[in-house]
Structure 1
Amino acid sequence: MTLVETKIDSKPIYNGNIITVSVDTVMLPNGDKAEREVARHNGGVCVLAVTAENKVVLVKQFRYVTGEELFEIPAGKRDSKDEDPYSGAMRELEEETPYFAERLELLYRFYPAPGFCDEELHLYQAIGLQLGSTRELDDDEFIEVYEFTKEEVLELLNNDKIHDGKTIIALQYWLNKE
């Protein structure tokens, strides 16, 4: 049996700047029908940035949806489905932190919430990280930049201070490397 679900119908519910939402009727592999609530998103990019002193660069910002300040790796949404993820990741690193990279290396491509959303994240590692100029935050972004050693990151993780999934993935990669 193939595990493919085929869209039969789609009812648009919401069309916003970041997501669109629909209720889709699908044909299941066994021939039955089911409904799927679907959020469509342009996708995002994120960067594991480690300084020459072997400190990871994290940003802290208040996330309205969670109601708390979160430590995160530099990240952001792609401006469109057509935007090159590599270029978007370079842009986000330079916008959110005072750093730039000579180049980026793709570590992972993953779906953070595939049960209802098609958002795809591209996680890059910054290679040749260098201190640059001033940040260029969006008008609605208020971000603090931090640098942590591996020991400090372990303490943050062990004390339930990091809750963002993409950041946990990146930090686990960094902690287990070498």
Structure 2
Amino acid sequence: MLFYEETIKSTSIYKGNITEYVVEDVKLPDGKQAKREIVRHDSAAAVLPFTKDGELILVKQYRKAIDQISIEIPAGLQDKTDKDGMETAKRELEEETGYKAKKWSFVTSFYSTPGFTDEFLEIYEATDLYLAEDPLSQDEDENLELITASYEQAWDLYHKGLLRDSKTVFALFYWKMKKLDIKLGE
């Protein structure tokens, strides 16, 4: 079977600072037509920043889209000046937490929700953290509180429903896999 949908018509409904809403008329592989509602979204990067004590630095903020507090790993959109996701991750860590890291490693990348958006997210791990002397400022519309959580505390936040966004849930399971690897290697 051919897995391709030909775009017949594309209409931009709204273009904001972060997203663009598009409705596309497509021709399906069987010749029928359908509409696709798509949110075009800039790429983003997220960071799993681990302290020297092995705790994870998280940010607490209010998310209007879900009308509740969310606790997440630091993350943000790739700026036009960022040459890649790593540069975005480094900038976002400093802006949101005031920290920099000496050691960085790529963890994974994925489309957050390909059923309706093209948002592409890269995730990095940062260790050997230190406070920046003159940290980058947070975005004007950000109100963040830092939380440092042990493995058990992070899972407790998850079970309480405070840690629910996809990148941070992924981070928890990544952390769990790392702990399993350590135990299996002993």
Q: Same fold (TM over 0.5)?
A: yes
* Aligned residue number for residue 88 of structure 1: 88
Distance (Å, rounded) in 1 between the aligned partners of 2:38 and 2:8: 14
Structure 1 residue 2: Cα displacement: 2.0
> Contact 2:101/2:129 (CA < 8 Å) preserved in 1?
yes
User: Tell me, what secondary structure is at the counterpart of 2:158?
Assistant: helix
The answer to whether the aligner puts 1:78 opposite 2:99 as a matched pair is no
Structure 2 gaps, min length 5: none
> Contact 2:58/2:72 (CA < 8 Å) preserved in 1?
yes
After TM superposition, the runs of 4+ consecutive aligned structure 1 residues lying more than 4 A away are none
Q: How does 1:35-114 map to 2 (within 5 A)?
A: 35-80=35-80, 83-114=83-114
Identity, % of aligned positions: 40
> Contact 1:57/1:145 (CA < 8 Å) preserved in 2?
yes
Distance (Å, rounded) in 2 between the aligned partners of 1:45 and 1:51: 19
- Partner AA of 1:140 in structure 2: D
Residue-by-residue CA offset, 1:58-91 (whole Å, 9 max, x unaligned): 0001111111111000001112497411111110
Distance (Å, rounded) in 2 between the aligned partners of 1:120 and 1:128: 27
Distance (Å, rounded) in 2 between the aligned partners of 1:162 and 1:125: 18
The answer to whether the aligner puts 1:152 opposite 2:153 as a matched pair is yes
* Aligned residue number for residue 13 of structure 2: 13
Distance (Å, rounded) in 1 between the aligned partners of 2:160 and 2:65: 22
- Partner AA of 1:160 in structure 2: G
Taking structure 1 as reference, are residues 144 and 82 closer, same or farther at Cα in structure 2, changes over 3 Å only? closer
Query: What is the CA RMSD across the aligned residues, in angstroms?
Result: 1.6
User: Tell me, what secondary structure is at the counterpart of 1:35?
Assistant: strand
Query: More helix per residue: 1 or 2?
Result: 2
Distance (Å, rounded) in 1 between the aligned partners of 2:36 and 2:81: 22
* Aligned residue number for residue 122 of structure 2: 122
User: Tell me, what secondary structure is at the counterpart of 1:8?
Assistant: strand
> Contact 1:47/1:123 (CA < 8 Å) preserved in 2?
yes
* Aligned residue number for residue 141 of structure 1: 142
Structure 1 gaps, min length 5: none
User: Tell me, what secondary structure is at the counterpart of 1:26?
Assistant: strand
Equivalent pairs, count: 178
Distance (Å, rounded) in 1 between the aligned partners of 2:15 and 2:107: 31
Distance (Å, rounded) in 2 between the aligned partners of 1:90 and 1:22: 31
